[in-house]
Amino acid sequence: MSNQFKAEVFQNQFLPQGTKEVNAIMTISVEGGDSATTSPSRERLFGVICDTSGSMGGGKIHAAKDAIAQLVNLLPEDAHFFIVTGASKASIVFPVSQATWEKKQQAIASIKSISANGGTLMSTWLAESLTQFKRMPNAVRQALLLTDGQNDDSDEQKLKTILQQCEGVFQCDCRGVGTDWRVAQLQQIANQLLGTTDIIPNASMIEADFRAILEKAMSKDVSDVTMRLWTPQGAKVLFCKQVSPDIVDLTHRAKPMKPQVVDYPTGAWGNQESRDYHFCIEVNPGNVGDEMLAGRASLVYTLNGTETKIAEARILATWTDDEAKSTKIDRRVAHYTGQAELAQSIQEGLEARAKGDVEVATAKLGKAVKLAHESGNEATAKLLKTVVDVQDAPTGTVRLKREVAKEDAMALETRSTKTTRIPKSQS
């Protein structure tokens, strides 16, 4: 493996006597080594899952077919790929194949025959994709799912079941084209499969979005990486969240490995990548002067059943009666606590707006504007301005807009979990 992983912990380890909670931000960065170095894990399998239900007819299916054909053309020859389409049932347009020139031409010819007809049962699409991904268990396995509509309610339980089977086998980025799909449905799939969710407002933008997703997927060259957390006897992990580049709550994804040790999934990693994780651990409180190792977090890479530790960092706790030390909040911990609060305020504000509760919506979205301003999250601040008129950002004084384009509200909802890193001037 050519990549070099580095882990750092940022925290205030000094706690007042009686305090139980230990907070820490762990930053993991990857620096690429010799790009010529190869390993079995560098095989890549990319799957395209495209909605072909009746609602995709017309311009959307034509744009999707063009985008998939372009995506196939862009695949490097050492990658593998497949194409699955789905409506009431799934179809294999092109099975797992290496992206040679000949296979690409065959796939593009098959893409031309795709048509839109039928209902929407996403569990069948994922089940067929799972079969394809299992053919290359050592590859970096990633998928792109495109839809324009809502999954049938009758499929809810089957979808949950198949997602559990897909979890850990492949990652999946989900994209909704237009405004007739449900954000929560795609987030359910993407969150469980460690992918992203976003809106493509109109069909003409599909190709550019596909290109960006493929470029990111092809940069990944290490799969099957987990975050392993050891905590001392009597300790309890209150939460574990990825907090950058976006918020992903991993708390309930903990897999017990042995007493006091759990694993959290992190998915595939690529060159020059950096992520932040927030741990909150409850420990047995100590007396003044006591020191404790409150946690040890490490990244573990698995290939062919063999585990390799690739980075490690320690989370500490020291009890003190020095108020100057114990009352200082680590800047990164404070920053990401605020980013989580920002995402929650947006989601609660949009929910209240949808219910017609103007007072709550105004308060929540105003709070979001204030938090976005304080943290320097300019991308989210810009999205908020499509839903509210900002009268004073520092205080969060806003007024709800009477007319809001549906795609703007959906864009704010899907991107509310994207975070910004702490400004360099504060780090």
Co-location of 93 and 144 in the same domain: yes
Phi (first) and psi of residue 60, to 5 degrees: -65, -45
pLDDT score, position 35: 41
Q: Examine the pLDDT at 414 and tell me if it is beyond 50.
A: yes
Q: Are 235 and 143 in a shared domain?
A: no
Among the ranges given (1-5, 199-203, 270-274, 370-374), the one the predictor scored with the smallest mean pLDDT? 1-5
Among candidates 153, 144, 98, which has minimal Cα distance to 125?
Answer: 144
Name the DSSP class of 385.
T
C-alpha to C-alpha distance for 68 and 50, rounded to whole angstroms? 9
Q: Residue 410 to residues 177, 199, 203: CA-CA distances in angstroms? A: 11, 7, 16
Average pLDDT, integer, range 186-192: 96
Question: Based on the structure, what is the number of domains in the chain?
Answer: 3
With beta carbons less than 8 A apart as the criterion, state whether 314 and 296 touch: yes
Residue 427 lies in a domain: no
Predicted local confidence at residue 39, as pLDDT? 44
Q: pLDDT at position 38, please?
A: 36
107 within some domain: yes
- Among left, alpha and beta (phi > 0; psi -120 to 50; other), residue 217 is alpha
Q: Are residues 204 and 60 in the same domain?
A: yes
Question: Using an 8 Å Cβ cutoff, are 63 and 314 in contact?
Answer: no
Q: Is residue 420 part of a domain?
A: no
Instruction: Please state, rounded to an integer, the average pLDDT across all residues of the chain.
Output: 94
pLDDT in tens, 92-103: 999 999 999 999
Do 106 and 214 share a structural domain?
A: yes
The answer on pLDDT for 31 being more than 90 is: no
* pLDDT over 90 percentage in the chain: 91
Of 221, 243, 272, which residue is a domain's last?
221
pLDDT of residue 303: 78
Is residue 239 domain-shared with residue 345, that is, in the same domain?
Answer: no
Residue whose token pair is 């089940």: 127
Does the pLDDT of residue 418 top 90, yes or no?
Answer: yes
Q: Does residue 423 form part of some domain?
A: no
Question: What is the C-alpha to C-alpha distance for residues 385 and 366, in angstroms, rounded to an integer?
Answer: 11
253 and 354 fall within a common domain: no
Question: Can you point out the beta strands (E) in 220-290?
Answer: 220-230, 236-244, 248-249, 255-258, 261-270, 274-282
Q: What is the CATH number of the domain that holds 273?
A: 2.60.40.3670
Percent of the chain with pLDDT over 70: 96
Residue 383 maps to which CATH number? 1.20.120.1690
pLDDT digits (tens, 9 = 90+) for 131-174: 999 999 989 999 999 999 999 999 999 999 999 999 999 999 99
Q: What average pLDDT score do residues 79-85 get? A: 98
pLDDT of residue 1: 53
d(CA 191, CA 145): 13
**What is the domain range of residue 253?**
4-35+231-328
Answer yes or no: is 422 within a domain.
no
Read off the pLDDT of residues 282-315 as tens digits, 9 standing for 90 and up.
999 999 999 999 999 999 998 778 899 999 999 9
Domain boundary among 270, 302, 328: 328
First to last CA, the chain: 31
Q: What tens digit of pLDDT does each residue of 393-409 get?
A: 999 999 999 999 999 99
Q: Using alpha carbons, list the distances in angstroms from residue 174 to 112, 138, 247.
A: 23, 23, 16
Instruction: Calculate mean pLDDT across residues 206-234.
Output: 94
**CATH number of the structural domain spanning residue 66:** 3.40.50.410
Tell me: do 243 and 281 sit in the same domain.
Answer: yes
CA angle, residues 58, 61, 66, in degrees to nearest 5: 125
pLDDT at 41: 47
Q: What is d(CA 2, CA 32) in angstroms, rounded to the nearest whole number? A: 6
Distance CA 384, CA 382 (A): 5
**Residues 18, 83 share a domain:** no
Final residue of a structural domain among 285, 313, 328 = 328
Q: Once rounded to an integer, what is the mean pLDDT over residues 239-250?
A: 96
Clarify whether residues 176 and 282 are in a common domain: no
Q: Specify the pairing of strand 261-270 against strand 220-230.
A: antiparallel
For residue 179, being part of any structural domain is answered with yes
Q: Are residues 189 and 154 in the same domain?
A: yes
Q: Domain for residue 424, yes or no?
A: no
pLDDT computed for residue 8 by the predictor: 95
317 shares a domain with 397: no
Q: 214 vs 67, 75, 79, 220, CA distance in Å? A: 11, 8, 11, 10
Question: Do 47 and 177 sit in the same domain of this protein?
Answer: yes
Contact between 61 and 147 (Cβ < 8 Å): no
Residue 408 lies in a domain: yes
Nearest to 374 by CA among 402, 345, 347: 345
Of the candidates 285, 275, 192, the one whose C-alpha atom is nearest the C-alpha of residue 236 is 285
**What would the mean pLDDT of 215-242 be, rounded to a whole number?**
94
* pLDDT > 70? residue 18: yes
Please enumerate in sequence order all residues whose Cβ is within 8 A of that of 5, keeping only pairs 6 or more positions apart, or say none: 28, 29, 30, 269, 299, 310, 311
